[in-house]
Amino acid sequence: MTKRQTPAGSPKEFQVYPELSPEEFAALRPSIATNGIIVPVEVDDDGNIVDGHHRVRAWNELRAEGVRVPEYERKVRAYANDDEKLEQALHLNQLRRHLTPDQRQEVVKELRNRGWSARRIADVLDVGKSTVGRDLSTVPNGTVDTVTGLDGRQRPARRPQTVAAFSTKEEERARAAMKELGIENMPSRPIRVGPLEKRVKAQRVLPSGPPTGEENSGGTWLVECAGIDDWNIDGAGIDLILTEPLYSCDGIDTYFQLGEFAKKYLNPDGLVIAYLGKVHFRETIEGLFENLEYVWLGAIVQNSRPSKIHSKKMEGGFRPYVICSLGDYEPKRWMYDTIISPSAPEKDLHPYQQTLEPLKEIIEMATEPGDLVCDPFLGSGTTGVAAIALGRDFYGCDIDPRSAKEASDRLTEWELENNDS
């Protein structure tokens, strides 16, 4: 198989209709060589071809022979079970193919063996029930009717949700997003890959459950599953709070919470450095400065592909951050306000996961070894990794049990990999 090929074929349970004859398949190849695959190929969220395996087989063969056939559209559908996939494959085949009586009889027998009722078979093949009865004359009676639709009609009451994909890469992205989102959360109308991935991102932000209060710690770090308002770390004098509150419309209040938290736990000469969003910049700043004083504004320049803010028709190439203090800030060291990020933020652990290197630069500028760094909106724990990697102590919390556990696991793994003992 070449690098550009797509796996041919599909599980046999979805191939009830007879295979194309060699003559029919030979006639299909020139059409695809000239026009490409015109009718979209239907796949499930595991990548199995539900409908179109002959088209994909011809496409693969042509690609292997050096014919430059274009990529084709995939319709990636979410199904509740294999029975739904089979019914969809039968429906699509029925729209395009005319069976001989012998071929129809074989299809009817196969469906009966799978437990389909005569009425359901008649409906999906668009024939009379008496025709199905004749075709079933040699099949033993007694098969249990396991119709999964509401009334056995050829279309299930709930149509499979569809994602349109136009390349192998888009198909892989669609299948990954569908699996994470879950069939119960799929949109009812067809959707493209990009909007579907936005739904997944929004779902990831939702807490996996209420905060548990569970603590995990290592040699120089502590992580607790708690909200910022309920987190009690009395006795700890924090030298730097470095964090990224939620800066969507729903997260504006978190900046006010951050200022309240800093009033309780920040050392008098400590700093708060917070990432900012641009859409609600004014509101977040106002919340932060209810309790803190402005020191400076910085920017992390992203050399990766710009992020698009569709509501403003803007392409963003930098991430702003603000430096605050409790009052009369007396600078101890030189700092620079522009940081070049070497790579795009990784998002494998959290939708708002940040790049490690800019955080390390900020911590190195703003603190000394042995100082205490804190992130009360911990997420995946990137701030904690940056802090302990530079010889600082670290405290962090997150309201989401899943994020708190992932951050603790990540810090534990870093210690195991980097400690000599």
Q: Note whether 260 and 123 are same-domain residues.
A: no
Provide the pLDDT for residue 142.
Answer: 36
Question: In the structure, what pLDDT confidence band is assigned to residue 11 with cuts at 50, 70 and 90?
Answer: very low
**Which of the 8 DSSP states describes residue 130?**
H
Section 296-315 average pLDDT: 83
Question: Are 193 and 220 in the same domain?
Answer: no
At which of 204, 228, 252 does a domain end? 204
Question: Is residue 9 scored above 70 in pLDDT?
Answer: no
Is 103 or 185 the better-scoring residue by pLDDT? 185
Report the side by side order of strands in the sheet with 372-375.
215-217, 221-225, 393-398, 372-375, 238-243, 266-275, 318-325, 293-302, 338-341
Mark whether 366 and 224 lie in a shared domain. yes
Please tell me whether residue 277 adopts helix, strand or coil conformation: coil
How confident is the model over 82-90, as a mean pLDDT? Answer: 74
Q: Per DSSP, which regions of 135-278 are E strands?
A: 161-165, 191-192, 215-217, 221-225, 238-243, 266-275
Residue 91 confidence (pLDDT) above 80? no
Percentage of the chain exceeding pLDDT 90: 34
CATH number for the domain spanning 375: value is 3.40.50.150
Asked whether the predicted pLDDT for residue 140 surpasses 60, the reply is no
CB 243 within 8 A of CB 352: no
Among 204, 237, 259, which residue terminates a domain?
204
* β-pair partners for 163: 76, 191
Residues 388/217, Cβ–Cβ less than 8 Å? no
b/e code 220-232 from CB counts within 10 Å (16+ = b): bbbbbbbbbeebe
Do 63 and 5 contact (CB within 8 A), yes or no? yes
Query: What confidence tier does 371 reach under pLDDT thresholds 50, 70, 90?
Result: very high
Question: Is 4 among the domain residues?
Answer: no
Q: How far apart are CA 78 and CA 76, in angstroms?
A: 7
Q: pTM (2 decimals)?
A: 0.58
Structure confidence by residue, pLDDT tens digits, 16-44: 556 777 887 888 888 888 888 877 888 88
Looking at per-residue pLDDT, the higher value among 173 and 344 belongs to: 173
Total number of domains in the chain: 2
251 shares a domain with 121: no
Predicted local distance difference test score (pLDDT) of residue 92: 66
Mean pLDDT on 362-390: 95
CA-based nearest residue to 269, from 242, 238, 247: 238
By CB atoms closer than 10 A (0-12, 13-18, 19+), residue 22 is exposed
State the pLDDT at residue 96. Answer: 52
- Give me the chain's average pLDDT, please: 81
Q: What domain range includes position 102?
A: 12-204
Question: Is residue 197 one of the residues assigned to a domain?
Answer: yes
- Residue 238 near residue 392, CB atoms below 8 Å: no
Asked if 317 contacts 301 with a C-beta cutoff of 8 angstroms, the reply is yes
pLDDT per residue as tens digits for the range 36-71 = 887 788 888 888 888 888 889 899 999 999 998 999
Confidence of residue 151 (pLDDT cuts 50, 70, 90): very low
Q: What is the pLDDT of residues 203-256, one digit of tens each?
A: 766 666 889 999 999 999 999 999 999 998 877 799 999 999 877 777 788 999
Mark whether 69 and 195 lie in a shared domain.
yes
Q: Are residues 229 and 148 located together in one domain of the fold?
A: no
Cα–Cα dist 149/326, whole Å: 64
Q: Say if 6 falls within a structural domain.
A: no
pLDDT at 264: 93
